[in-house]
Amino acid sequence: MISRRTIRIKVLQVLYAYYASPDKSMNNSEKELFFSLSKSYDLYNYLFALFIEIADYAQRKIDTNRSKLVPSPEDLNPNTRFVDNRIIHMLRNNRRLQAYLNQSKPSWNNHPELIKELYNFLAESVFFNEYMANPESSFFEDRKFVEKVFQNIILISEDLHIVLEEESIYWNDDIDLVVAMIIKTLRGFDEHTDEYHPLLPKFKDKEDEQFARDLFRKTILNHDVLLELIEFHSSNWDLDRIAFMDILILQLALSEFLYFPSIPTKVTLNEYIELSKYYSTDKSRNFINGILDKALKELKASQRVHKTGRGLIGETD
């Protein structure tokens, strides 16, 4: 499930491209936005396929060792705890995952060295060896192990990051967010999970999908109003000297203050200040925080912020 944070990041990136392009087509840029979001969901499924591929590699190693002319006792009686992991079995048989993979046809066949390297990286890890040596076997231990593979192997592999960047420019900033989606999915599995168990949908609901569209369009359509607000509250700054990315982050936040009545202003503040940590400098982050704080106080005082719905008590303070 693509989170609202991911949506905000993708809108920010597409807005940057929109204003940098001489051909400013809102419709084309909106299509680009939703294509970018779809690629995030592709990666979610693609990484599940990668994990299964690593397990398949481990199984092939076991089969090869068993077929030696003079196999050792260890070759004939290997530790199969990894390849017998219950979560792997569930993913391998999950109908939703397999249907998605069969339709989109992603493949790791072109990256055998990466699979080998990831397996070796895993096999050398402390948590892998502790898992393999543990005499206790439970569904909980299997699931915890798989979570660690994603968090400590797949998430941090530099070679995997390089391959993903080569596969799609849309995946450059996605792996952290997608692994978080995967961990959330795994924690929804239990001992009774069957092949029909649903994975996370692309969007939580229609409201989130519409949020992506509205945030993109309303920020563009109200560009002049938002820019005027930024200029007013940054009177000690030359607008031309403010980083373009900072201006876009401010525009998106102000757009949420003004045109999204169901989103609490505290949520908006926290989200865009968090985004500024990754897309701006430390000085920019403090600048963005200060401008948004001043702008919000003025907008509330002039009664231009109207929030309605549950959980919005105190928004007019």
The tokens for 85 are 């992991």
CA distances from 47 to 14, 83, 129, 162, 174 (A): 24, 17, 23, 14, 11
Residues 246/247/249/254 CA torsion (nearest 10 deg): 140
CA distance linking residue 236 with residue 287, whole number of Å: 11
Q: State yes or no: pLDDT of 316 exceeds 80.
A: no
Structural domains in the chain, CATH included, are 25-186 (no CATH), 222-301 (1.10.940.10)
pLDDT of residue 310: 65
Closest CA to 257 of 206, 302, 207: 302
pLDDT of residue 1: 85
- Residues in contact with 93: Cβ distance below 8 Å, sequence separation at least 6, in sequence order: 195
- The burial class, CB within 10 Å (0-12 / 13-18 / 19+), for 70 is exposed
Confidence of residue 317 (pLDDT cuts 50, 70, 90): low
pLDDT of residue 283: 80
One DSSP character per residue, 71-96 reads: --HHHHS---TTTT-HHHHHHHH-HH
pLDDT of residue 312: 61
Q: What is the mean pLDDT of residues 16-20?
A: 94
pLDDT of residue 23: 84
Angle (nearest 5°) at CA 90 between 204 and 186:
40
Residues 118-176 have pLDDT tens digits of: 999 999 999 999 999 999 899 999 999 999 999 999 999 999 999 999 999 999 889 99
Q: State yes or no: pLDDT of 217 exceeds 60.
A: yes
Q: What is the mean pLDDT of residues 232-258?
A: 87
What is the pTM (predicted TM-score) of this model?
0.89
Residues 166-205 have pLDDT tens digits of: 999 999 889 999 999 999 999 999 999 999 999 999 999 9
70-79 contact pairs (CB < 8 A, 24+): 79/132
Residues 29-57 have pLDDT tens digits of: 999 999 999 999 999 999 999 999 999 99
CA distance linking residue 264 with residue 258, whole number of Å: 11
Confidence of residue 313 (pLDDT cuts 50, 70, 90): low
Yes or no: say if 260 and 219 are a contact pair by the CB < 8 Å rule.
no
Q: What is the mean pLDDT of residues 6-10?
A: 96
Q: State yes or no: pLDDT of 292 exceeds 90.
A: yes
Q: What is the mean pLDDT of residues 245-261?
A: 96
CA distance linking residue 248 with residue 279, whole number of Å: 11
pLDDT of residue 260: 97
Confidence of residue 315 (pLDDT cuts 50, 70, 90): low
Q: State yes or no: pLDDT of 15 exceeds 80.
A: yes
Residues 61-120 have pLDDT tens digits of: 999 999 999 999 998 999 999 999 999 999 999 999 999 999 887 789 899 999 999 999
Q: What is the mean pLDDT of residues 235-250?
A: 82
CA distance linking residue 76 with residue 65, whole number of Å: 8
Closest CA to 230 of 287, 281, 291: 291
pLDDT of residue 239: 64
Yes or no: say if 170 and 40 are a contact pair by the CB < 8 Å rule.
yes
